[in-house]
Structure 1
């Protein structure tokens, strides 16, 4: 006996919601009962890479087939509420007007979880005035662009924002405008931001509790000029990037756990490898630094659990003076690397009077 077919239709549709939409649609051939059940799923997941194995068809034919499938599913669902809409269009060229139509369709239907990865695409402004979005993930996507105007940004329910390799116009001001329209945001993830288009980066949110600020280590040719964090209620921080030239405003007063992976750029590394006499002339009373991370490390000095990469120790050595006091630190984990010294480690340990656990990872 087919036990699943005997379940109530709403329950079957709920189960199908956990499958990729293409797989859920394939169940329509099982019987008359199953023919339209997949159309009532509340989670929609479209990925054009699922069509890459269509042997014997051109890219244009595959792209058309994918777009027609998305159109059919959305049309079949009518005005039913959709919970999650995931769209990955990174394998084939699509009609971007149709893509915009799909996004507007699910926005009208009250989508709460929107996940978009589209190549060479400017997001419609309607995304940034949604009254139902709780989670928004954008990217990765080459030339996926956010064009923002302050009066057009208001996401009153958004709690999670994830940006990966996304271009935010207005050289940092657009990012500030985006965050200003997210009054209840609790988690922010920034992945692989290209600093060449930014004058500064400011993360200023009272509601924020978790922040991931990550950039792949392969990006060693540039660094942010100015980074500020005004996040007094943040409890978790993951920060891996080239060290900024300066940190004019840092407030992590509630921070519990931090994973720090700061590193020098190639140019900064070249500077610190200059001989001591050349780099710190005898008539200089103050130490010259390639970048100044002092304010950042002072800003995290209330942390209780701290993870430092080997290259962060290098930053602490060459870009921080003096080493801050970590009175609340009870657990410290430090990575080691054969190319990176631990010159600043004795001074750091001296300033951790209440440290209970020290882990050295090799």
Structure 2
């Protein structure tokens, strides 16, 4: 290997962490400083071989000094309490001066209370990641990130609130991917994401007792959207013309849930305690959609009219024993081209408004709207996980699956994911479904899969009997 040129050896060392690469310095004189010339630097005080902060600081200082003016491609720094700003600032400034394109800072607010403004005025950064929980406070002066394509912020606090966020977006003219986690509405109140370039957006807002006042999205070229938040009071603009995939987790506040309970106790007619209709209307062209159980509950009480999802082909529903299926019948009815339906668990709150999608209130004797459902592929995840040792709950899940198979005319494949270590459990589930006296689709094939057993059982085609 000593016959290889330095640039090739550095390329090999770049596959290691800086800590691991430094261990090669003992091989020979040639290798003594070679690790410091690697263009990708990764410093992690949490997993460092250094026993104290001083030795870690000396190590980082030494590596950066050995590099001199060499270009830095990637710089990743992880360090927590016990370090001072005057230790960290020079490192960040050093790599920014030397043209770093990928910068990842995993630093707490106790370490860097004010993040250096130079971070947001780099002409070379292509990827910027700042976090983690209890991340640094940012006071933006001028934002100039002309090459930045990926931005990930976790628990970062903007002193100027939504004004600072708007300034940040306007200073990133080619930004394609934005991830903003643990946003606290106590600091903001409103939020507007406006970008003609943005393609992927993750907006995760911390749990709190307030509804944001206004949340707007003007992102006509967005293809992926992941959103977790309390339901906003208003969605003045929702522009998702190119959206392909969305994951939605919108929830009611405790006050809204209290109002729901009050309405249910005193009035049989359901009243809206919020309005998610504007947001849903903006999502109606999506092809793949994931809805959390909180979203399902929000739709039950905060949706005046269910939009038609003409483009939706893949729908995933997360379930919770405390949340009912009141909105599900109308949702399925308004998905005329749905091909794949996934349930993450089947156990939900039994109500008299689930329609004929399930058997909560003994509706098996009436005709089912499921017969008009276009779904071809049905997946049941987490089968048996909600029941533990409760056989009655597992029997309830099985009855619901039988109901689907007996009513869904277009069903071609049913896959049940059963995380059990007992092979006989899988066989029993398969046998029960094979013995159904009536099935809606002669095309339907059934698979029962267990990752624990690395096993897949498949039933032959079910025929009318």
Name the TM-score, length of structure 1 as normaliser. 0.89
Which residue does 1:302 correspond to in 2? 285
Q: Given the superposition, is the C-alpha separation of residues 246 and 302 from structure 1 closer, same or farther in structure 2, using an over 3 Å criterion? A: same
Q: Please list the CA deviations of residues 15-51 of structure 1 after superposition, one character each: whole Å capped at 9, or x if unmatched.
A: 2122221221121111111111111100111111124
| Number of equivalences | 342
Residues 1:231 and 2:231 aligned together: no
The SS at the match of 1:12 is helix
Q: CA deviation at 1:357?
A: 2.2
What is the distance in 2 between the residues matched to 1:193 and 1:154?
Answer: 23
Q: Please list the CA deviations of residues 206-225 of structure 1 after superposition, one character each: whole Å capped at 9, or x if unmatched.
A: 10111112246xx2434433
What is the distance in 2 between the residues matched to 1:223 and 1:43?
Answer: 42
152, 156, 177: which one aligns with 1:162: 152
Which residue does 1:243 correspond to in 2? 231
82, 88, 107: which one aligns with 1:93: 82
What is the distance in 1 between the residues matched to 2:58 and 2:184?
Answer: 34
Residues 1:317 and 2:300 aligned together: yes
Mapped contact 1:250–1:295 kept (Cα < 8 A): yes
What is the distance in 1 between the residues matched to 2:155 and 2:163?
Answer: 17
User: Is 321-330 or 35-44 further displaced after alignment?
Assistant: 321-330
Mapped contact 2:128–2:150 kept (Cα < 8 A): yes
Residues 1:67 and 2:57 aligned together: yes
Q: Gapped runs of 5+ residues in structure 2?
A: 346-465
Larger Rg: 1 or 2? 2
Q: Please list the CA deviations of residues 252-311 of structure 1 after superposition, one character each: whole Å capped at 9, or x if unmatched.
A: 11101111122222222222222336478x8xxxx7533322111111111111111122
Q: How does 1:18-57 map to 2 (within 5 A)?
A: 18-51=15-48, 54=51
The SS at the match of 1:192 is strand
Mapped contact 2:19–2:48 kept (Cα < 8 A): no
What is the distance in 2 between the residues matched to 1:203 and 1:99?
Answer: 31
Q: How does 1:152-191 map to 2 (within 5 A)?
A: 152-191=142-181
Q: How does 1:241-280 map to 2 (within 5 A)?
A: 241-276=229-264, 278=266
Q: CA deviation at 1:356?
A: 2.2
Q: CA deviation at 1:232?
A: 0.3
Q: CA deviation at 1:98?
A: 2.4
Which residue does 1:57 correspond to in 2? none
RMSD: 1.9
Mapped contact 2:39–2:73 kept (Cα < 8 A): yes
What is the distance in 2 between the residues matched to 1:245 and 1:314?
Answer: 17
Mapped contact 2:263–2:271 kept (Cα < 8 A): no
Mapped contact 1:134–1:160 kept (Cα < 8 A): yes
What is the distance in 1 between the residues matched to 2:122 and 2:50?
Answer: 36
100, 103, 114: which one aligns with 1:114: 103
What is the distance in 2 between the residues matched to 1:163 and 1:249?
Answer: 24
Which residue does 1:348 correspond to in 2? 331
User: Is 7-16 or 228-237 further displaced after alignment?
Assistant: 7-16
Which residue does 1:213 correspond to in 2? 203
Q: CA deviation at 1:11?
A: 1.1
Q: Given the superposition, is the C-alpha separation of residues 342 and 53 from structure 1 closer, same or farther in structure 2, using an over 3 Å criterion? A: farther
RCO higher in structure (CA 8 A, sep ≥6): 1
